[in-house]
Amino acid sequence: MDLPQLSGLTVYPGSLVETEGMTCFLASQGDGKRRLGVLGEAAGLEGQRQGQLLLCPLSRANAAMLCTRLAWLRPVPLGLHISVGFGDRLGLATPGHVRAARRFNTIDPIFAQQSVRESTRTGRTPREVLDDAMWGLFQEGWRERWGADADHLKSVADADSFVDAGYTLFTIDPGDQVDDAAQSAAPAELEAKVSDLPWQRLEDTARGMEERYLGQSFDLGDFALVLDREMLWRAAAKYGRAVDHTVRMYRHLVSRLEPGSFELEVSVDETAVPTSPAEHLFVATELRRLGVRWVSLAPRFVGRFEKGVDYIGDPETFAAEFARHAAVAQEMGPYKLSLHSGSDKFSIYPAVARLAGELFHLKTAGTSYLEALRNISQVDPAFFREILTLARARYETDRATYHLSAQLDRVPAEETLADKDLPGLLEQPDGRQVLHVTFGSVLDRFRDRLLATLYRHQERYYSLLEAHLARHLAFFAG
């Protein structure tokens, strides 16, 4: 059967599926929209008849119905296996992500990953993010398991919208409850901080805590951890409220979701002061005592993990600390260590791969948006110049919620660059960061134009994504 002739559309060949009396596929129109084409049994799907073919919009209702027919379109928990989160701020990147993931079948992908912060700036709902990922993997014919990550959740209200949408990994971010000042607090101030902890909700007392830790040696393979009273109290003051917040969020998720239908990640990476291995041990011990079960944990590692650029710090110091964190995760779980703001950290990937093995999760996000801008710089330099001008104007405002070192005076103004030099701006650390964190402002002004341009040059975009992300995955493919 000649589907293109029958539909009058351009059919994505990887999407073609024949099952239970139904043939379906994804196809594109010249107006920049895709359609679901269905032949045969199409009960529950909404669309318009074109002869024997039903052409359906990529609506929420049709996504839900198709997922009931094709099980591989639904995300699932991924367990203790190496995994990578592919963030997509635009809703168009999943085909490129799939192509990268296919090259490394030992790594489980999370194709839907978005934080509340990003959702606010992109104007997309959790369900839209999940559906966009689903249509993208359907387009490419992905039939393996995949996950969906509700990233950096800070409140029950935030979590509920992702629960309702069908996410399978919930990343709890209690960073606002981490007390970095406890690291250097004077003795009297430290005692006050510990006394003020929510002991009743923690189902504990200061004395009970001391009895569990003091005088104990925690054997972690190549080394042991012994917490003296000051170390313990500083760990409790720093992370006690974060533990309490995580427990409450976890118990809420348990009340909403079926056992085995979701996984938890704990993230304390967005704080000013690194998490020591002893503090990591304290957090894991307390969460386990309170009945929390998690699949991955993201400490605040030593050094700086800024958006869109390589690791800033000494790789050898990082490797030594990472080894100790990996030992804690193995002993206290096992569970995966999660590397947030993890894209482009090429200088430390070899150490991570060697030390973590299967127990590792990598999160990427804005790097896919930067590849979209690379595409724009190549196919429409004038448009890229407009984006750059806006990004420079908005940077000081939009950087507020990120830890960055980019300086505007190190980012060339658009009028100083020839067209051939524009893509090179995406290799320059300051330029990458300025463009990376201003995505919300760019979408506010240029969303439709940006998406239309990428759609017209979608194969180029997919190729850029595949090459860039495959460079990441190659370190962890085993």
Residue 397 lies in a domain: yes
In this predicted model, what pLDDT tens digit does every residue of 192-250 receive, in sequence order? Answer: 999 999 999 999 999 999 999 999 999 998 899 999 999 999 999 999 999 999 999 99
Residue 398 lies in a domain: yes
Residue 165 lies in a domain: no
Considering the domain architecture, whether residues 224 and 360 belong to the same structural domain is answered as yes
Q: How far is CA 2 from the centre of its chain?
A: 40
Q: Write the DSSP string, 378-426.
A: HH-HHHHHHHHHHHHHHHHHHGGGS-----GGGS--GGGS-GGGTGGGG
Q: How is residue 47 written in tokens?
A: 């669309």
The domain in which residue 92 lies consists of 86-106+120-144+373-478
| 17 occurs within a structural domain | yes
Question: Where does residue 123 fall: left (phi above 0), alpha (psi -120 to 50 degrees), or beta otherwise?
Answer: left
Same domain for 353 and 236: yes
* Residues 53 and 93 placed together within one structural domain of the fold: no
151 belongs to the catalytic site = yes
What is the tens place of the pLDDT at every residue in 26-44? 999 876 789 999 999 999 9
- Whether residue 326 is found in the same domain as residue 224: yes
* The one catalytic residue among 118, 151, 179, 344: 151
- Shared domain for 299 and 411, answered yes or no, is no
Is 79 inside any structural domain? no
Q: What is the rounded distance in angstroms from the CA atom of residue 296 to the CA atom of residue 393?
A: 38
**Whether 359 and 386 share a structural domain:** no
**Domain finish residue from 347, 364, 381:** 364
How far lies 55's CA from each of 36, 45, 49, 62, 139, in Å?
A: 6, 9, 6, 11, 15
Identify whether 252 is part of a domain: yes
Round to whole Å and give the CA distance between 466 and 455.
16
427 included as an active-site residue: no
Q: Assess whether 218 and 352 both reside in one domain.
A: yes
Domain assignment present for 155: no
Picking from 364, 393, 416, the residue at the C-terminal end of a domain is 364
Name the domain count of the chain. 3
Residue where a domain stops, chosen among 309, 332, 364: 364
- Can you give the pTM of this predicted structure? 0.96
92 shares its domain with 58: no
330 and 237, same structural domain? yes
Could you read off the pLDDT of 41-70 as tens digits, one per residue? 999 999 999 989 999 999 999 999 999 999
Q: Which of 265, 286, 414, 466 is catalytic?
A: 265
Residue 190 is assigned to a structural domain of this protein:
no
Closest listed residue to residue 110, CA positions, set 153, 142, 63, 64: 142
Are 348 and 439 in the same domain?
no
Residue range 84-93, pLDDT digits in tens: 999 999 999 9
Given pLDDT bands bounded at 50, 70 and 90, which one contains residue 401?
Answer: confident
Question: Quick one: 220 and 354 in the same domain?
Answer: yes
Say yes or no: 360 and 405 in one domain: no
